Structure 1
Amino acid sequence: MPYPYKNEITGDELVAEYAPLIKGKTILTTGVSPNSLGARYVETLAAGQPKLLILAGRDLAKVNQTAEAINKAHPDVQTRVLQLDLSSFAAVRKAAAEVNSWDDVPVIDVLMNNAGIMAVPYKICEDGYESQLTCNHLSHFLFTNLILDKILASEDKRVVNVSSGGHWFSGIRHADLNYDGGKTYEKWNAYGQSKSANVLFSIGLAKRFGDRGVLSYSLNPGAVMTNLAGHLDFAPGGDLETLARVSQLTGSPFGWGDREMLSHERGIATHVFASFDPALKEHNGAYLLEKARVADYYVDAVHPHAISDIEADRLWALSVKAVGL
């Protein structure tokens, strides 16, 4: 599909365009620590005068830094912080219960599931699943379902899951989610599994709740340097060379070594596009690409394992069982 906007579009420009749609809305965003796309997204949205920005993250000190930046630049915009530790289902349930207890917040118009981890050492979280699958997908799946009534109470009802071109590296490993206790673990492959899950989750939401007005999208923001990559080894022979090798082995076009790097302002353009563009109602469940456009599955670099209805149904069943819904 053609680009609906010029290639250099920024989140600021889209917020100005969508300002009438943003004004008065309540948006909950996960992963808003400073120097993240989530932080830039909510800071930019504040210019559109939303009613309330709910800022969720594990480290409340960092979340409060972002809240303070918004309050200083836009003192008329309300913010509320929420502690959300995606490594623990119990913590997710506690956070969801807190949101549901807020009688003064009857609706959530946009849920931006932005938080994530990338290419981390092998770890099994307390609920028994590999950490990237837990933090990037399973906990967001649980959180979304637990606060779904507040989303359904909105007229807009959008859920956005931030994925990545890294979805290419792996589909859902149904027979070996935990990499045989770490024996078969490759951190970029595990990242790919979790990013495929983000795309499939959006398809599942659209299929199950689209008839009740829920619009759900996944997106690839493009290559942006943020704190997500702060732990990576950029030295020769380090993580980027491993990434290039995994790209070669999986036939992925995302080696990232020669990819165009986007600024934060351009990186969040697709976040804003997914959250408010009215034309997207015709594309429920779609995967969106950097620079704010709907992916053309016949032309763009989208792996079939991430957009399969069959895989979306299998992942939904797997996720329901995993989180105990």
Structure 2
Amino acid sequence: MARVYDSETTASDVVQDVADQINGKVVLTTGVSPGGLGAAFVESVAAAQPALLILAGRSLAKVRETADNITTQHPNVKVRLLELDLGSLAAVRQAAEAVLSWDDVPKIDVLVNNAGVMGLEYARSDAGVEMTLAINHLGPFLFTNLLMNKLLTADKPRVVMLGSEGHRWNPIRWGDISFRDGASYNKWQAYGQSKTANMLMALALAEKLGYGPKKLLAFCVHPGFAPTHLDAHIAGGFASELPVIHALDVFLGNVEGPVPFRSPQHCAANHVFAAFSPDLDGKQTHNGAYLTDCRVANPVTDTVKPWGTSTAEARRLWDLSEKLVGQKFVY
């Protein structure tokens, strides 16, 4: 019988249950700075002796801190570092080329697209796209597809996208993804749009690659809210934005209110569940799902907006993303 998890479950709890699924696997995780959810995920997973942990991030110094923590606690676990700036398509291509050149790493069992940003002031990427959407969606879209051959070499490949309940703040703005070049910019609507994109990315991957003898499983996770460094650039931190966020929810007709912060260990439990739980194997209805508290989210009792669960929207976003990165990926 599948174990029932809840909001009190930690990443280490889930690792104990799925250790046999982790052992010997190659896992690539983005956004692993110390103190963050990515670091909590990889440090927990290391206890189950994966074959290799590939740690990717924009700052190699921060990535190395996490790598050192893993090596200290689990000296037999192999760790490899990768510099990855998701805000630059050129940098994403360079990072992917590096991974593809590693002949001693013929496969990637699990890719966890954990890196992300929130609450940015308006800026545009080198592709001319609003920066929150560029970093949270467009960079991971390109990175994942460039590594797809190594993923599909694995027996049971999985891709995990980091979503958020914050997707409620905006669907994809099809006619104006960059907020009229900043003239109508709202940082939390921009974040909402990017998190909707993460949900649609998982759906699109499941639809395109979820069939066949080595089908790809893809999931989007809402980890909950943890006190990390994600809001370090915001004067006054995330708490200072709560009145603005509340006003936006009132404007949009949302009933959700402030939620309690949890530890990174609690939030990363959903990462581990999505990446390794056998409960998600062999159930096509689960592929592409949005997960919360280590379960498939309930659209009635959980915050799951219909614009994040539409296969039509997912197909449309895939086509737009191909156009923006200047490359088609046909599967």
Taking structure 1 as reference, are residues 246 and 37 closer, same or farther at Cα in structure 2, changes over 3 Å only? same
Alignment partners' CA distance in 2, 1:166 and 1:236: 13
Q: Report the counterpart of residue 145 of structure 2 in structure 1.
A: 145
| 2:7–2:266 Cα contact (<8 Å) kept | no
Cα deviation, 1:179-201, whole Å, max 9, x if unaligned, reads 11110000000000000000000
Greater alpha carbon shift after TM alignment, 228-237 vs 9-18:
228-237
Given residue 287 of structure 1, which amino acid in structure 2 is its aligned partner? Answer: Y
Alpha-carbon deviation of 1:299?
A: 2.9
Question: Which residue matches 1:198?
Answer: 198
Matched, 1:247 2:249: yes
Whole-Å separation in 1 of the counterparts to 2:14 and 2:242: 32
Q: Which runs of 5+ in 2 are unaligned?
A: none
Structure 1 residues 192 and 73, CA gap change in structure 2 (3 angstroms): same
Judged with a 3 Å threshold, the aligned counterparts in structure 2 of structure 1 residues 248 and 159 are, in CA distance, closer, same or farther, namely same
**Residues 233 and 239 in structure 1, CA contact (< 8 A), matched pair in contact too:** no
Alignment of 1:149-298 (within 5 A): 149-212=149-212, 213-234=215-236, 238-256=240-258, 259-281=259-281, 282=283, 283-289=286-292, 291-298=293-300
Aligned to 1:15: 15
Q: CA–CA distance in 2 between the matches of 1:81 and 1:236?
A: 30
RMSD of aligned alpha carbons: 1.6
The alignment partner of 1:29 has SS state of strand
Q: What is the alpha-carbon distance in structure 2 between the residues aligned to residue 288 and residue 166 of structure 1?
A: 14
Task: Measure how far apart 1:63 and its partner are.
Answer: 0.6
User: Which ranges in structure 1 are unaligned for 5 or more consecutive residues?
Assistant: none
What's the CA shift for 1:254?
Answer: 4.0
Q: What SS does structure 1 have at the residue aligned with 2:210?
A: helix
* Partner-residue secondary structure (3-state), 1:53: strand
Deviations along 1:174-228, whole A, 9 cap, x unmatched?
A: 1001111110000000000000000000000000000141000001001111111
| Superposition deviation, residue 253 in structure 1 | 4.1
Residues 132 and 267 (structure 1 numbering): CA distance in 2 closer, same or farther, change over 3 Å? same
1:133 is aligned to 133
**TM-score, length-scaled by structure 1:** 0.96
Identity %: 47
Shift of 1:236: 11
Would you say the 8 A contact 1:165–1:254 is kept in 2? Answer: no
Which segment drifts farther, 179-188 or 275-284? Answer: 275-284
Q: TM-score, normalised by structure 2?
A: 0.94
Give the structure 1 partner of residue 66 of structure 2: 66
Change beyond 3 A, Cα 1:253–1:267: farther
